[in-house]
Structure 1
Amino acid sequence: MASSTLTFVRGRCCRLLVYSQSRISILSCLKFQSTSVTGDSSTDLKLIDSPVKIQQKAEKISKAMMAYLEKTRKYDAMMAEEISQYEIGRRHLANIMGTDPETFSQDDIDKAIAYLFPSGLYAKAARPLMKHPYEIFPKKKMAQFGADGRPFHHLFYTTKQNYYSLMHNIAWKVEELKKEEDRSYQRGGVFRNPPILNLKGSSWIDLETLKAQVLEKINEHEHRRFVLLMEHLVAQPFSYKEKDFIMKYRKEYESQLSQFYFPEIETTENGKQFCISTGKRKKAEATLTLWIEGSGKIEINGQDLSFFQSTKERNQLLFPLQFLQKIGKVDFKAEVNGGGTSGQAGAIRLALSRALASFMDESTVEKMRLAGLLTRDLRRKERKKPGQPRARKKKTWKKR
């Protein structure tokens, strides 16, 4: 009896082996259980799943994999065609502009498109463009399951495995930082404040950037949950140890200081630092020399601050020194010509602000920019219009 049972099982295994060669290998899916038969020393082997169920499962998995492979093949063929068309268009565009196609970059393409196809449309998405296909078409995910139908990722059935995997990773990092805090307290007995992670000048990535990173559809609520969890991670005392991970999800502000002019710092024979700057306001032009270490001496066209009779012009001139708390600590000499008193005071103020900014750090210069000290005042008197007493004033209209 035992031998016949064993022969039957072996025959079944042989038939499954022949089937696996025609489809896919499913021998790993076979599960046997051994049971001891009372009254006999032999072992009876039984198959858990019937061959019919295993065959149906294998055919279903095979169709899913075939469908995925077919989609992948079509996508790769489409991208290859788009890339070839892009390269042809790039070379034609380089020939039109009279440049070398081998060194024709994406910036050159954008400038050529803007030159050849000018558009008055306000929406950038509606304007003509020419980008690499990988920048236009969305990325595709790789296969999420194997030939046996089992998903690779343990969070596959959440339907957003990349997003929840990221959240899971952040939560574990928070726990590790808490353990590090406990270990630090146990070693020293007294908790010492670790270095502070400086995140100034950057912000958390927006919803669209997060979607592009996880390649999944994320809504506003899930983005807020992500930001809150990252804020919790940053709030940990030892968060500086995860700086590289945190900065992956931070976006730095675009610096606007590069568009401003700052004079170079020079040094006298006595080792005293100074710089020479210029400023304009209306028709007035000023040239100013600033010594960063001084006693508060001010000279304007050979005179002191009494060069301006009005208190308004004096306050406007001294505002940069008052803003930086440098009154009585620096010396400057200014030569101004053209325009009236208001324009001359504005020109000296701009030159003084530029000279002071050369000696300040980046954070202080940013505060000066926000206060409007580094921006030239382009306002001027509006011209008189024909048929009117002044620029905007009209003649009195009488009905009768």
Structure 2
Amino acid sequence: MALALRFGINQLKSHRNSVQNVCRISGSYVEQMQERRCYGTEVTVQAAPLAVKKTKVSKAMKAYLERAREHDEFMKTQKFEYQVGKRHLANMMGEDPETFTQEDVDDIVEEMNKLYDLEERMLRRGIHADPNQKVDLTGFQWLPKDQLEKQLVEFLNDLEYTNFTNAMDRLISLPFSYKSRDFFTKFTKPLLDQTKQLEIPKPQFDADGRQYVTIYECLRKTARGDVTIRLPGTGKITINGQDITYFEELQSREQVLFPLIFAEMLGKVDVEANIAGGGPSGQAGAIRWGIAMGLRSFVDQEMIESMRLAGLLQRDYRCRERKKFGQEGARRKYTWKKR
């Protein structure tokens, strides 16, 4: 009896445990289902606004918007360039760029128009520009970019500096530009005057009271000599005791006469040259250099600078290149033969 009662109690306990486990499992399942239902509801609520249909933009509208954007960028660039140009104009006219207004710009444009009208009236009346007073910038150059920036108190890029020099060249080419010569000289500077570094010999006087200058070490290739120039003279040229017919070739004669013609001293001075070594070309080149160096004592500084720019004062050190070993000449190679 006691054994049967104990067996029944054990069966009840086991059934109770099974029921509790089933309840626990079912409870967790119910909670999971509720959570899933809540999550599904939130997704539905949040996804509802995304269901709105998007409107399409036509090609015509896209093209219009693109043109509008390009127009805005173009106007922005033009306004910036206008402000920069206005500041440059104010600096050139000596005004304050900060207080320079559109009215000032209009006044300057009106003055420029008056100048053009004045030029037209002068031409109608037969008043022409004087060609002898033309602005000549020989021996001068425009201010470099850095110096121009300091004078204008403005930063300039390469394109703006190029436009400035082109505009100044255009103004100088006008017929009445000589009336504004002072304006152009403000933006120019002399070229590097190398003639000051070369000592110009002072003329001496001979027994006849004429001035003369002797230039030694006249070199060209293997020719060596000296040249004496006398002022005043009759244009007589003596080379080794002979006249200019010492040179048979016409080109050599032209080389000797070129410095005299360039300096406009032909027929005003006498030239005596003693030359040795070399051929006709080398001797003519040496005499030409000696005449040009001697004429510096009888011409003004402007002519000396012109002669320097023409290359008359530059010694020519070129000479024949020697033959190389294993070659047919200075540069020429022997003909290669396979066999």
Check 1:162–1:248 CA distance in 2 against 1; reply closer, same or farther (3 A cut): farther
Work out which of the two has the higher radius of gyration on C-alpha atoms and give 1 or 2: 2
Q: 1:175 to 1:265 in 2, by over 3 A?
A: farther
Deviation at 1:380, TM superposition (A): 1.0
What is the letter of the counterpart of residue 361 of structure 1?
Answer: D
Within the alignment, does 1:369 sit opposite 2:294 as a pair? no
CA drift of 1:362 comes to 3.0
Structure 2, unmatched stretches of 5+, are 1-81, 96-104, 119-126
Describe how 1:179-328 pairs up with structure 2 within 5 A. Answer: 200=137, 201-219=139-157, 223=161, 228=167, 238-239=179-180, 243=182, 247-260=185-198, 262-268=200-206, 270-278=208-216, 279-328=218-267
- Amino acid in structure 2 at the alignment position of 1:252: P
How many pairs were matched up?
235
SS in 2 for 1:372: coil
Structure 2 counterpart of 1:352: 291
Residue 259 of structure 1 deviates from its aligned partner by 4.8
Q: Read off the aligned partner of 1:382 and give its amino acid letter.
A: E
Equivalents in 1 of 2:241, 2:110: separation in Å?
65
Amino acid across the alignment from 1:277? I
Instruction: State the secondary structure of the residue aligned to 1:345.
Output: helix
For 2:260 and 2:169, the matched residues in 1 are separated by 40
Partner SS for 2:287 = helix
Following superposition, the deviation at residue 250 of structure 1 comes to 2.6
> Aligned partners of 2:265, 2:171: CA distance in 1, in Å?
40
1:329 is paired with a residue of what secondary structure?
coil
- CA deviation vs aligned residue, 1:156-213 (integer Å, no higher than 9, x gap): x95788534214438869959x89xx9xxxxxxxx99999695623333344433344
1:25-44 alignment to 2 at 5 Å? Answer: none
Task: Report if aligned partners of 2:134, 2:177 keep a CA contact under 8 Å in 1.
Answer: no
Q: Is the 8 A contact 2:328 2:334 kept in 1?
A: yes
Q: Which moved more, 1:362-371 or 1:291-300?
A: 362-371
Q: 1:371 to 1:210 in 2, by over 3 A?
A: closer
- 1-side partners of 2:284 and 2:267: how far apart? 19
Would you tell me which structure has more helix in proportion to its own residues?
2
Separation in 1 of the partners of 2:87 and 2:239? 66
Aligned residue in 2 for 1:21:
none
Q: Distance in 2 between matches of 1:343 and 1:237?
A: 44
Within 5 A, what are the aligned runs for 1:38-53? none
After the TM superposition, which residues 126-141 of structure 1 pair with which residues of structure 2 at under 5 Å, given as runs?
none
Moved more, 281-290 or 223-232: 223-232
Query: How far did 1:331 drift?
Result: 1.3
Listed one character per residue, the Cα deviations across residues 297-351 of structure 1 (whole Å, up to 9, x for unaligned) are 2222223334334444333323323444544432121222233333222212211
Structure 2 residue 337 is the aligned partner of structure 1 residue 398: yes
Unaligned runs of 5+ in 1: 1-156, 183-190
Aligned residues of 2:135 and 2:177 also touching (Cα < 8 A): no
Provide closer, same or farther for how the CA distance between residues 341 and 202 of structure 1 changes in structure 2, counting only shifts above 3 A. closer
Is the 1:282–1:343 Cα contact (8 Å) retained in structure 2?
Answer: yes
- Write the letter of the residue equivalent to 1:211: E
Structure 2 Cα separation of the partners of residues 399 and 327 of structure 1: 61
- CA offsets per residue over residues 249-271 of structure 1, 9 Å max, x none? 33332223335564322233544
Partner of 1:169: 94
Q: Do the aligned partners of 2:238 and 2:271 also contact (CA within 8 Å) in 1?
A: yes
Identity in percent: 38
CA distance in 1 between counterparts of 2:235 and 2:143 reads 47
**Following TM superposition, by how much is the alpha carbon of 1:225 offset from its aligned partner in structure 2, in angstroms?**
6.8
Give the alignment's Cα RMSD to 1 decimal.
Answer: 4.3
